[in-house]
């Protein structure tokens, strides 16, 4: 099995090495990651300038682009054979609930899924100094079980891991995406030249603590595994709107 590892935290994230070490047990691992932090770049593509690729030793490359660029380069240029699996992460910080829409980590996994292979995004729920070694071991354990079930093309799994020693994890839960309670996340200030500026950020998000959600599972010390699908069409709305008589 050929495994592509990427991330959105950039080629210097120690999580890449930790994952590479664990995933070698499953096949040939190639790392292709952005050359700098590309967190919250979502599914963006670089279209208006060339992309440069730099080797960093055997099977490790950086790209001066986004996580999605990295996956496209893996599937359509750099590698002689297509990857069979994409693993993205392990992200420093959670990717739960609506945040999956902003996440470069999840976007890279989505791109793998769009390319027709199973993909897993993994994120470590901490803002502090991370220890990716144990988290990578858990990713390997979960992946081993998933791969044993004949993974389907386009399988898209979102894994969030509590940041605690493995023996203090209280299990694994299959979850649905949770939901944020939106607080003030935009700070308005005045710059030294008297002009207003805005800075997106603010407090850490507050989550609705609903059982069955990713946030709830992680909060209880469990590893959260959320299977995602990409079909965004709302079939019920089509039925409702057909009754509206919309016309030109
Ligand atoms: Mn990130």
CA of 90 to the centre of ligand 1 (A): 8
Q: CB count, 10 Å around CB of 25?
A: 10
CA–CA distance, 223 with 219 (Å, rounded to integer): 9
pLDDT of the residue at 128: 86
Helix and strand element counts for the chain (H, E): 6, 13
- 180 class by beta-carbon count within 10 Å (0-12 exposed, 13-18 middle, 19+ buried): middle
Please tell me the total number of residues recorded for the chain in this structure. 248
pLDDT of the residue at 203: 66
Phi, psi of 22 (to 5 degrees): -75, -40
CATH 3.40.1210.10 fits 2-178+207-242, yes or no: yes
For 55, the token pair is: 């080797």
pLDDT of the residue at 184: 65
CA of 223 to the centre of ligand 1 (A): 18
CA–CA distance, 18 with 4 (Å, rounded to integer): 14
Q: Pick the closest to residue 114 from 75, 141, 170 (CA basis).
A: 75
CA–CA distance, 107 with 66 (Å, rounded to integer): 10
CA of 196 to the centre of ligand 1 (A): 28
User: What SS3 string covers 156-225?
Assistant: EEEEEEECCCHHHCCCEEECECCCEECCCCEEEEECCCCCEEEEECCCCCEECCCCCEHHHHHHCCCEEE
CA of 216 to the centre of ligand 1 (A): 21
pLDDT of the residue at 227: 98
DSSP state, residue 77: I
Residue ranges of domains in the chain: 2-178+207-242
CA–CA distance, 166 with 248 (Å, rounded to integer): 60
CA of 91 to the centre of ligand 1 (A): 5
* 4: alpha, beta or left? (left if phi > 0; alpha if psi -120 to 50): beta
pLDDT of the residue at 202: 61
Task: Provide the β-strand partners of residue 2.
Answer: 28
CA of 248 to the centre of ligand 1 (A): 44
CA of 10 to the centre of ligand 1 (A): 8
pLDDT in 10s for each residue of the chain, 248 residues: 999 999 999 999 999 999 999 999 999 999 999 999 999 899 999 999 999 999 999 999 999 999 999 999 999 989 999 999 999 999 999 999 999 999 999 999 999 999 999 999 999 999 889 999 999 999 999 999 999 998 888 899 999 999 999 999 999 999 999 998 777 678 889 999 999 999 887 667 788 889 999 999 999 999 999 999 999 999 999 999 999 999 99
């Amino acid at each position: 099995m050929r495994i592509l590892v990427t991330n959105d935290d950039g080629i210097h994230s120690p999580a890449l090495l930790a994952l590479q070490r664990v995933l070698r047990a499953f096949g040939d691992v190639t790392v292709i990651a952005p050359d700098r932090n590309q967190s919250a770049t979502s599914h963006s593509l670089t279209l208006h300038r060339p992309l440069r690729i730099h080797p960093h030793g055997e099977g490790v490359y950086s790209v001066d682009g986004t996580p999605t660029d990295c996956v496209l380069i893996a599937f359509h240029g750099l590698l002689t054979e297509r990857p069979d699996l994409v693993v993205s992460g392990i992200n420093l910080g959670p990717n739960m609930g609506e945040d999956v829409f902003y996440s470069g980590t999840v976007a890279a996994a989505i791109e793998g899924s769009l390319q027709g292979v199973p993909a897993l995004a993994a994120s470590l729920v901490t803002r502090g100094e991370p220890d990716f070694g144990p988290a990578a071991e858990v990713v390997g354990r979960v992946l081993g079980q998933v791969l044993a079930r004949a993974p389907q093309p386009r399988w898209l799994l979102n894994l969030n891991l509590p940041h605690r020693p493995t023996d203090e994890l209280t299990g694994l839960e299959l979850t649905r995406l949770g939901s944020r309670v939106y607080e003030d996340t935009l700070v308005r200030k005045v710059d030294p030249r008297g002009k207003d500026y805005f800075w997106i950020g603010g407090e850490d998000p507050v989550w609705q603590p609903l059982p069955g959600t990713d946030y709830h599972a992680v909060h209880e010390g469990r590893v959260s595994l959320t299977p995602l699908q990409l079909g965004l069409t709302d079939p019920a709305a089509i039925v409702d709107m057909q009754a509206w008589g919309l016309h030109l």
